[in-house]
Structure 1
Amino acid sequence: MIQLKEISKTFYSKKNEEVTALKGVSLEVKQGEIFGVIGYSGAGKSTLVRCVNLLEKPTSGDVVVNGASLKNMSKNELRKSRQNIGMIFQGFNLLKTATVYENIAIPLKLTGISSKEIPTRVEKYLAIVGLEDKHHVYPGQLSGGQKQRVAIARALSHEPDVLLSDEATSALDPETTHSILDLLLKINREFGITILLITHEMHVIQKICDRVAVMENGEVIEQGNVIDLYSSPKKRTTKKFVNSLFPNDLPKEILEQLKKRGPIISMTFVGTSADKPALSQLSKKFDVDANILSGNIVQLKDKPFGKLVAHIQGETEETDKALHYLKEEGVQVDEVEINES
């Protein structure tokens, strides 16, 4: 559905200094999936998502949406293609002096939708976002979450195949964020709309994304299925994001003392393995003591995912048997390095 091919973007400051925001970024978003791009401030995320509909024109590379290259389109062709790419922003971008109804109806009128069709669309999409009773209310009378729902309804009213989300939840409180993410998930499942979202919040990726790309300094440093990146992050930045959900703050001195009496392991549980009492069985099956040092179980989009750090105390032969048993039970086991803790 969306293909970014070796996208680079260079800006020039007022002093004519060259600033490279994107460096040869390539990724592909499949039809009907929710694809997340995560990175810290300055990673190039916002520039990347704005290149998808050419709000930012790439310095080099190509953008292909639904099989058509946007970069080679005329202004008129690009304008028509953009109607098929909805976008929601962190700041909502609503007209303050227009009602909720008008905020949705005016863009429809400007894109040539008939006056007979406009009320039907406004009604339909306000109902979808749960604001059917807010037609004549002004944005200043709405909460942040309600404003974002109006923005989503406005984007959906053009009936796009693709929805871009530029940090759409980062200005919202946690409870409202969850409700907006639930809404995006509902839209994706019921309408089959492909969603590309950018965020700096790992729980956004965790809750609704199928695949994810991690950005740093204008480059994609790692990408893949969410479960794969949670299970086996390769890059330091990816590990930092994942570890924010599974903190391990034990002092180095304590870990060093424990390791003298047996291995300290990190255990990753995915899907059904997260429901098995594998760790609790170790002391019953082998001559070892298993103590949990830290951990958490979270719900990914479709599967539970857990990560525990534990100390397995016992003789080497018995601890080896215990670790082998865990792996046979579908648990990913990695020994914790002290200098990474």
Structure 2
Amino acid sequence: MIELKNISKTFSSKKNKEVVALQDVTLHVKKGEIFGVIGYSGAGKSTLVRCVNLLEKPTSGEVFVNGEHLNEMSTDQLRQARQNIGMIFQGFNLLKTATVYDNIAIPLKLTGLAASEINERVEKYLSIVGLADKKNVFPNQLSGGQKQRVAIARALSHEPDVLLSDEATSALDPETTDSILELLLKINKEFGITILLITHEMHVIQKICDRVAVMENGEVIEQGNVIDIYSAPQQQTTQRFVSSLFPSEFPSEIFDDLQKQGPIISLTFVGTSADQPALSVISKKFDVHTNILSGNIVQLKDKPFGKLIAHIQGPKDETDKALAYLVEQGVQVSEVSNNG
């Protein structure tokens, strides 16, 4: 659905210095999936998402959306193609002097739609985002979450195949963020709209994304299924993002003391294994004692996922049997050799 081939983007600064925002980025977003791009500030992710609809024209590389080569389009052709690519922003971009209804209707009028069709679409999409009763109010009368819902309704009113989200939840509180993410998930499921979103929040990736790309210094340094990235992050930046959800640090004195009494292990639970009381079972099944030192279990889009750091104490042959049993139950087990 979205294919970016070897995208690079260079800006010229006031001092005639070149600033490289993107370097040879290649991504393929499948039809109907929710694909996340995550990175810290300055990673190039906002520039990347704006290259998808050519709001930023790449210095080099090719952009394909729904099989169409955007780079080769004329201005009129590109304008037409953009109607099939909805976009929502962190700052909402609503007209302050226009009602909620008109914020959605005015862009539709510019496309030449009949008044009856415009009214039908505005009513339909305001209902979908849960704001049917707010059509006659102005943006300054709405909360941040409601403003973002209006922006989503506006993007949907063009009935696009693709929706781009540029840090759409960054200005919202956690509860409102979750409600917007649930709305995006609903839109994806009910309408089959392909969503490409960028964020600096791992929680956003965790909650609704199928696949994710991690960016750093204008490059994609790692990408794959969310569950695979969580299970085995390869790059240091990716590991930092994942560890923000699964804290594992504790005083080195405690670590050294416990390690003398038995192995300290990292346990990764995926899917049904996350629902099983595995540590409780091995304490009863084998002559070992277990102690959870740190960790967390979270719900990904389709399945639970957890990481725990635990101390296993007991005779070596019993701890070996206990660890083998955990592996048999689908738990990923590795020994922690140092406190980091």
TM-score bin (small chain): over 0.9
For 1:330 and 1:53, how far apart are their aligned partners in 2?
A: 43
Stretch of structure 1 that moved more, 111-120 or 291-300: 111-120
Is the 8 Å Cα contact of residues 250 and 339 (structure 2) preserved in structure 1?
no
How does the TM-score come out when normalised to structure 2?
0.99
Matches of 2:6 and 2:113 in 1, distance apart?
A: 36
1:251 alignment counterpart: 251
Comparing 272-281 with 44-53, which one deviates more in the overlay?
272-281
Secondary structure in 1 matching 2:57: coil
One-letter amino acid of the counterpart of residue 174, structure 2: P
Q: 2:147 matched to which residue of 1?
A: 147
Match of 1:265, SS state, is strand
Give the distance between the partners of 2:177 and 2:138, measured in 1 at CA. 22
Report the alpha carbon displacement of residue 28 of structure 1 after superposing the two structures with TM: 0.5
Greater alpha carbon shift after TM alignment, 88-97 vs 304-313: 304-313
- Residue pairs, 1:190-339, within 5 angstroms: 190-339=190-339
Counterpart in the other structure of 2:4: 4
Shift, 1:191, TM fit = 0.3
Match of 1:61 in 2: 61
1:254-280 per-position Cα deviation (integer Å, ceiling 9, x unaligned): 111111111111101111001111111
C-alpha distance in 2, partners of 1:11/1:335? 46
Q: Secondary structure of the equivalent of 2:238?
A: helix
1:250-304 C-alpha deviation (Å, 9 max, x unpaired): 1122111111111111101111001111111112222221111011111111101
Paired residue secondary structure (1:158): coil
Matches within 5 A, 1:96-111: 96-111=96-111
1:52-91 maps to which residues of 2 (within 5 A)?
52-91=52-91
Helix, strand or coil at the partner of 1:116:
helix
How far residue 112 of structure 1 moved from its aligned partner, in angstroms, is: 1.7
* 1:179 and 2:187 correspond: no
Whole-angstrom CA distance in 1 between matches of 2:253 and 2:221: 33
Segments of 5+ residues of structure 1 without an aligned counterpart are none
Q: Aligned partner of 1:164: which letter?
A: L
RMSD, aligned α-carbons:
0.8
In structure 2, what is the Cα distance between the partners aligned to 1:114 and 1:334? 63
Q: Which amino acid aligns with 2:124?
A: K
1:131 aligns with 2:131: yes
Give the TM-score normalised by structure 1: 0.98
Where 1:21 maps in the other structure, the secondary structure is strand
Where in structure 2 are there 5+ consecutive unaligned residues?
A: none
- 1:21-32 alignment runs, 5 A limit: 21-32=21-32
Deviates more, 1:207-216 or 1:279-288: 279-288
Q: How many residues align?
A: 340
Structure 1 residue identity aligned to 2:308: L
SS of 1:133 mapped into structure 2: helix
CA apart distance, 1:314? 2.1
Please identify, of 250-259 and 126-135, the stretch whose mean Cα deviation from structure 2 is larger. Answer: 250-259
- Sequence identity of aligned pairs in percent? 79
Q: Counterpart in 1 of 2:167?
A: 167
CA deviation vs aligned residue, 1:2-50 (integer Å, no higher than 9, x gap): 0010100000111111100001001110000000000000000100000
CA deviation map 1:90-124 (0-9, x unaligned): 00000001110110000001122122211111000
Shift of 1:339: 4.6
Q: Please report how far the alpha carbon of residue 249 of structure 1 lies from its aligned counterpart in structure 2 after TM superposition.
A: 2.5
Q: Which amino acid aligns with 1:5?
A: K
Distance (Å, rounded) in 2 between the aligned partners of 1:85 and 1:16: 33
CA deviations on 1:154-194 (whole Å, 9 max, x unpaired) are 00000000000000000001111011000000000000000
CA distance 1:42–1:337, shift in 2 (3 Å)? farther
Question: Take 1:165 and 1:157, find their aligned partners in 2: how far apart are those partners?
Answer: 15
Q: Distance in 1 between matches of 2:270 and 2:51?
A: 35
Please state how far the C-alpha of 1:316 moved relative to its aligned partner: 2.4
Once the two structures are TM-superposed, the CA of residue 315 in structure 1 deviates from its matched residue by: 2.6
